[in-house]
Amino acid sequence: MPSLRRAFRLPTSLAIIASLGVALLALACATSCSAQQSLLGENRVTLGLKTLGGRLEWTDQLVWSGWRIQANAADGRCRLLDSKDRRHAVGTFDFCMEQLLVQRSQIRSSTPKHVVVLLHGLAGSRNYMERMEKYLTENGFEVVSFGYASTKGTIQELATSLECVVRNLEDAQQVSFVAHSMGNIVVRQMLYRLQTSENPPANLQFCRMVMISPPNQGAYLADTLGQRQLIQSVFGPAVDQFAPTGGWPALEQELATPWFEFGIVAGGTGNERGYIARVPGDDDGLLSIDSHYLDGATDFIQLGGFHQLMPHYKSVQEATVCFLKNGHFRR
């Protein structure tokens, strides 16, 4: 196991401010979406120009060969983007689907038998997972990066969109997941939906899942953060859903434990001090390491590091590939 990174302690207030700063920066990028809202008419083909951003405002509903149909978290309008995030249509989902079918008739493409679905965490976007996506692709995996409006919807709403994407992975026979932080809970909620569904996806096998810094037992700090209007306005309704004395007990009842192989990657310091004085035991600057655990895990590895940066560490990327290929983290 690689040596854990050298630790230093952060007062709880500074740690919260640091996390809030990251989220505020992401939110500032998302607000650029408001500039394009007035440009979105009903059911019209557009010129294929680059979007103005706002990734935190949109959630994927369907992904095909780099093309994606997304729904806006504020009003439900949809847009069709190509692999370079150029907008080709706006309007209803059905209209965007019609335009996608036109594109598909002109492009020869097929979905690989095995697809790895990649998910970012709270206040993140697909951009945040680009390094992990690149590393997985370089190691022979076909990746679908699921983007979602993490600060706008509940876990249940986001899981519904993920289910739509997974069900529409045309020709795929096997699906694995790599998720960071809140993305793991979105996957677990989707798995619960499929478990209790009367119409589970046919001919689709789930293979393996890598959970990076997952809040599998809720988030201790959410009890504090959820009571602060500013932070709640940034992080959205999911904050209270992670609070152990708030919405977590109800949410936990709707989370499935993967019935296929899954492994957990943790950060932290490797000692009982952690980064944040207020969080009991070791922590990664946001979550306690104890909150990562989930019965039934095939493997667990602590590589050290900060919560927000975990998908960027080469050691985490290497461990992820190793698990997807072999079912364990160590070579």
pLDDT in tens, 127-155: 999 999 999 999 999 999 999 999 999 99
Q: What is the pTM of this model?
A: 0.87
For residues 210-230, give the mean pLDDT: 82
138 part of a folded domain = yes
- The more confident residue out of 303 and 239 is 303
160 part of a folded domain = yes
69 part of a folded domain = no
Question: Model confidence at 9, in pLDDT bands (50, 70, 90)?
Answer: low
Q: Domain holding 210: CATH number? A: 3.40.50.1820
Above pLDDT 90, what percent of the chain?
A: 67
Q: Does position 11 have pLDDT exceeding 80, yes or no?
A: no
Question: How many structural domains is the chain composed of?
Answer: 1
SS3 245: coil
Residues 6 or more apart whose CB falls under 8 angstroms from that of 325 comprise 139
Q: Does position 306 have pLDDT exceeding 60, yes or no?
A: yes
213 part of a folded domain = yes
The β-bridge partners of 288 are 283
Greatest mean pLDDT range, 9-13, 100-104, 157-161, 278-282: 157-161
273 part of a folded domain = yes
Q: Does position 157 have pLDDT exceeding 70, yes or no?
A: yes
pLDDT given at position 76: 93
pLDDT given at position 92: 96
Domain that holds residue 180: 111-326
172 part of a folded domain = yes
37 burial (CB, 10 Å; 0-12 / 13-18 / 19+) is: middle
Amino acid (one-letter) located at 250: A
Q: Does position 227 have pLDDT exceeding 80, yes or no?
A: no
134 part of a folded domain = yes
C-alpha to C-alpha distance for 11 and 278, rounded to whole angstroms: 8
C-alpha to C-alpha distance for 92 and 79, rounded to whole angstroms: 8
For residues 44-62, give the mean pLDDT: 88
SS3 159: helix
256 part of a folded domain = yes
Q: Which of 89-98, 104-113, 272-281 has the lowest mean pLDDT?
A: 104-113
For residues 301-306, give the mean pLDDT: 97
